[in-house]
Structure 1
Amino acid sequence: MTAQGTTFQRWRAFAVHLFTASGAFLAFLSLIAAAEGQWVAMFSWLGLALLVDGIDGPMARKVEIKRVLPDWSGDMLDAIIDYSTFCLIPAVALYLSDMIGKPWSFIAAALIVITSAIYYADTRMKTKDNFFRGFPVCWNMVVFAFFAIQPSEWVVFAAVVLCAAGTFAPVKFLHPVRVVRLRPLNLAAMVLWMLFGFAALLYGFDSPTWVRVGVALTSLYLVSIGAVIQLLDRRAGGAVSS
């Protein structure tokens, strides 16, 4: 391989890192929108950051980024940005929106940022069959659902406590793309969640009942299907062993 070819590969790989790093700027724009109380704009920026997060992985594998740039950690870059967009900014939004009032909003935000930080340090977060072990700190989706559904403050606080506790539970949570089990159904639920979520943004979170019910049902499926599969597998295993 020529020196020019090696240089080209390095610049191409570094461009993928720059694309990943653009998620940090999207996080910044989202944080500014949250500070100004512009919730639709905030979640729109977070949605774009989620899109970047979803496509930069295949791009990195395509250019063999770990081989070409072994001194730059894409995993570390991802973790930094993901913590901001998945955890920190949603916690800020929950606090600033005063959705559950003070001091409960302060406590809820603290639970989110602390348990999420601990989760990112856990090297066991993925199972062999591509589920997450414990609640995968996808607070961007959870807090978005709060804004879209607008439940009572005690329902919101209880949901935060349950999800925060679920971070440490030996319970499977779905990765809609990587999990093979029920993949068509899982992907369909994810697409429906996105469509209902887009409708909620269009309505400025003043959504009609069908949008709120749609977000609620698809969210419930995505959060619970991993645990349901885990329970069915345990019962099947018990039945076989007996």
Structure 2
Amino acid sequence: MSEPVTSFDKWRAFAVHLLTASGAFLAFMALIAAAEQRWVAMFVWLGAALFIDGIDGPIARKIDIKRVLPNWSGDLLDSIIDYATFCMIPAVALYLSDKIGEPWSFVAAALIVISSAVYYADLRMKTKDNFFRGFPVCWNMVVFVLFATELTGWIVFATVVVCSAATFAPVNFVHPVRVRRLRPLNMTVVALWSILGVISLYYNFASPTWVKVGLIATSLYLFVIGGVVQALVSARVASRRRGKA
């Protein structure tokens, strides 16, 4: 039998919801920075929102927030803020920066916001072993790399098209924190990506070549490792079935 819920439990749980909701203010600040084309400031605000997104979930699960406040949906609150910080604002930044050029910047932004909206409505978004099913619309990270590496317009547009198509692909993408397979390696890559990102911001995106190469390499790893693990597991299962036949 679960312990009775006290007033302290409720206030503590609601404080976690407020922590999550603070991401909405960070999104607002990021949007203002995007409108003023202050790209470093925009990504700093988005980085702060990503940090909160990373810590509020474990805290909520630790205090069993769904049991303590059953009438408040932390998942819905999280999704609302994630759509703004992961998808909408990066799309606005990509459009306003004119990295692709008209009319393709408009097309790229439309692909991002529409594919992301559909993805958030998919109840199969997560697999049982905590992988994402399809590209998890983390456009904040993708657009950051596109800004930091200063790739040509057609590569930027091709990246948007590939990621948008991957949103609906039956391919797994890793959640570095919640997926147990290769977790130490995945978290190491995320840490390296984050360090390189901070260096890039410090240089106002005019960073040395090794920083740009490192960002591309770590990003590609995080993009493909889920599918690689999925393929290896599927091959192992198929091999066992053939052995039993």
Letter in 2 for 1:20: T
Distance 1:184 1:59 in 2: 21
How far 1:45 sits from its partner (Å)?
Answer: 0.3
How far 1:25 sits from its partner (Å)?
Answer: 0.1
Distance 1:240 1:179 in 2: 24
CA RMSD of aligned residues (A): 1.6
Q: Is structure 2 residue 196 aligned with structure 1 residue 196?
A: yes
Distance 2:178 2:62 in 1: 17
Which structure 1 segments of 5+ residues have no match? none
Identity across the alignment (%): 68
Equivalent residue pairs, number: 241
Runs of at least 4 residues off by over 3 Å: none
Q: What's the counterpart of residue 100 of structure 2?
A: 100
Distance 2:126 2:11 in 1: 31
Q: What's the counterpart of residue 24 of structure 2?
A: 24
Letter in 1 for 2:58: P
Q: What's the counterpart of residue 39 of structure 2?
A: 39
Q: Is structure 2 residue 158 aligned with structure 1 residue 154?
A: no
Distance 1:177 1:35 in 2: 32
Letter in 1 for 2:61: R
TM-score (norm 1): 0.96
Q: Secondary structure of 1:127's partner? A: coil
Q: Secondary structure of 2:6's partner? A: helix
How far 1:187 sits from its partner (Å)?
Answer: 0.8
How far 1:61 sits from its partner (Å)?
Answer: 2.1
Letter in 1 for 2:205: F
Q: What's the counterpart of residue 62 of structure 2?
A: 62
Q: What's the counterpart of residue 176 of structure 1?
A: 176
Q: Deviations over 1:55-96 (max 9, x none)?
A: 111221233221121111111100000000000000000000
Letter in 1 for 2:17: H
Letter in 2 for 1:211: V
Q: What's the counterpart of residue 230 of structure 1?
A: 230
Letter in 1 for 2:234: R
